């Protein structure tokens, strides 16, 4: 949704490249200690950064496009690449596949052990008290809809309020809007300030005794701003409301402890966690989950089915996992969690904080480029959205020329149309988003490419995005 579009298939698009466009500088040779000037201060960097140590684990990063141009993947906020450990775990499951929870033979027992082991790995990664507090879903979108359709239908009444924010991904807006139409509840939206950070005072002003749920993102996928979750939770609990956290952009990048955050629900997506697509999870405290009715009916989620009585249901989390679950995907997600924990989330967070600062600094050097979100000193994630300040260069053109230089970035609304509407960015923005497999050199070369391509596009050359036929 809102992805980069350029008026046709790749084979039908023709770009005029400037004959004077500078070629990308080759990567500098590794040195024992590299020196980099930042803000007038020269700081030392270890010769082997975290990225240098892990890049070989990601097969997708070792490829070339467009007649030998090396791929530099800068779209991790959309989906992360997968380490070999995840690919191997999925392949191992399919090499001796069986269904879970329902067979007495060896393969079924092995599959069940792997599936439930993955649940335990997720629980450990986020600091849950027990694996049973983790419900597997098809993704974060389904996890949020599960809360809306189960907890929401059971607990909300006409006139009750759900407070969310203008920073949200559509997945944390539309479920509440649909529920408003169905139940007559009121949905309120806290605004964000000039730097793209949640206006906490405005959110507090929206809370009333009728507020039953506050649903917020941890990190904005469009602006990179980080929500002060504990402060939000304390305000919400002060009026008796529960808190749902969309943690898609934080679980793979920050050290998460659900108890310290103080939230009541947490939703995340496997494919953004270096795991497979088609899997995500919902975490909540056991006492909340036990009070929620099933959302979907079928096998696995029942205790007893009769023709002369109402069915009775399995305990949590099975109650919410109707049908054959995404076994291979869960196994892959478990492997991704173990991979992240083996590296160390503290280490990942510290390295990506440096990447975030360097990305901002390098793009801020480009004249006429509008950067969105808070500056690094205020705290931000390692993603950055931007536009040409003139408004005469479309982000879709920026992304297409970047691709020709080997850089995979995203352009469009990023499933956050209200954010871009507030920014006055009718056609969205371009976004570079990093993972711990990215290097400072990736950023430097991308900045050089972007500067050259903007010069070309501002002169009227290059791909021409047609807003009338996107």
- Point out the residues that are catalytic: 415
How far is 235 from 135, CA to CA, in rounded Å?
27
Residues in the chain: 470
Neighbours of 106 (CB within 10 A): 10
The secondary element (H helix, E strand) that includes residue 104 is: none
Tokens matching residue 343: 């590296």
Closest CA to 414 of 433, 434, 394, 431: 431
How far is 287 from 179, CA to CA, in rounded Å?
23
Exposure pattern of 317-356 as b/e (b: 16+ CB <10 Å)?
Answer: bbbbbbeebbbbbbbbbbbbbbbbeebebeebbebbbbbb
User: What DSSP line would sit under 256-299, residue for residue?
Assistant: --HHHHT-SEEEEEGGGGTS-SS-EEEEE-HHHHHTSPPSS-SS
SS3 annotation, 359-371:
HHHHHHCCCCEEE
Q: How far is CA 329 from the centre of its chain?
A: 17
């Amino acid at each position: 949704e809102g992805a980069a579009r350029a008026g046709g298939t790749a084979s039908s698009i023709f770009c005029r490249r400037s004959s004077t466009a500078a070629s990308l500088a080759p990567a500098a040779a590794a040195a024992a200690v590299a020196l980099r000037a930042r803000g007038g201060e020269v700081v030392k960097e270890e010769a082997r950064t975290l990225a240098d140590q892990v890049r070989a684990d990601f097969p997708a990063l070792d490829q070339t496009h467009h007649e030998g141009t090396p791929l530099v993947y800068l779209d991790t906020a959309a989906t992360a690449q997968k380490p070999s450990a995840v690919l191997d775990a999925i392949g191992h499951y399919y090499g001796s596949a069986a269904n879970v929870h329902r067979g007495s033979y060896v393969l079924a027992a092995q599959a069940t052990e792997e599936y439930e082991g993955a649940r335990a790995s997720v629980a450990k990664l986020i600091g849950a008290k027990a694996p049973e507090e983790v419900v597997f879903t098809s993704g974060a979108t389904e996890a949020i809809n599960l809360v809306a359709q189960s907890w929401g239908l059971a607990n909300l009444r006409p006139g009750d309020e759900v407070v969310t924010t203008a920073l949200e991904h559509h997945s944390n807006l539309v479920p509440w809007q649909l529920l408003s139409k169905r139940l007559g509840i009121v949905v309120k939206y806290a605004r964000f300030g000039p730097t793209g950070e949640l206006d906490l005072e405005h959110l507090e002003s929206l809370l009333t005794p009728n507020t039953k749920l506050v649903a917020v993102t941890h990190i904005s996928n469009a602006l990179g701003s980080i929500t002060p979750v504990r402060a939000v939770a304390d305000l919400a609990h002060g009026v008796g409301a529960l808190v749902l956290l969309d943690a898609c952009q934080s679980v793979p990048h920050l050290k998460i402890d659900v108890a310290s955050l103080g939230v009541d629900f947490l939703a995340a997506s496997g494919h953004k966690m270096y795991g497979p697509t088609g899997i995500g999870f919902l975490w909540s405290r056991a006492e909340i989950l036990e009070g929620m009715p099933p959302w979907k009916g079928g096998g696995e989620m029942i205790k007893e089915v009769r023709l002369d009585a109402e069915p009775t249901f399995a305990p949590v989390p099975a109650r919410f996992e109707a049908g054959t679950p995404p076994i291979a995907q869960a196994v892959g997600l478990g492997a991704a969690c173990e991979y992240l924990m083996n590296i160390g989330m503290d280490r990942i967070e510290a390295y990506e904080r440096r990447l975030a600062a360097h990305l901002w600094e390098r793009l801020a050097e480009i004249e006429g480029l509008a950067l969105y979100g808070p500056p690094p000193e205020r705290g931000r994630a390692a993603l950055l959205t931007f536009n040409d300040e003139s408004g005469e260069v479309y982000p879709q053109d920026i992304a297409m020329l970047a691709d020709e230089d080997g850089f995979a970035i995203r352009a469009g609304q990023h499933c956050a149309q209200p954010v871009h509407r507030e920014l006055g960015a009718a056609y969205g923005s371009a976004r570079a988003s990093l993972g711990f497999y990215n290097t400072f050199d990736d950023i430097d070369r991308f900045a050089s490419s972007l500067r050259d391509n903007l010069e070309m596009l501002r002169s009227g050359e290059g791909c021409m995005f047609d807003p009338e036929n996107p």
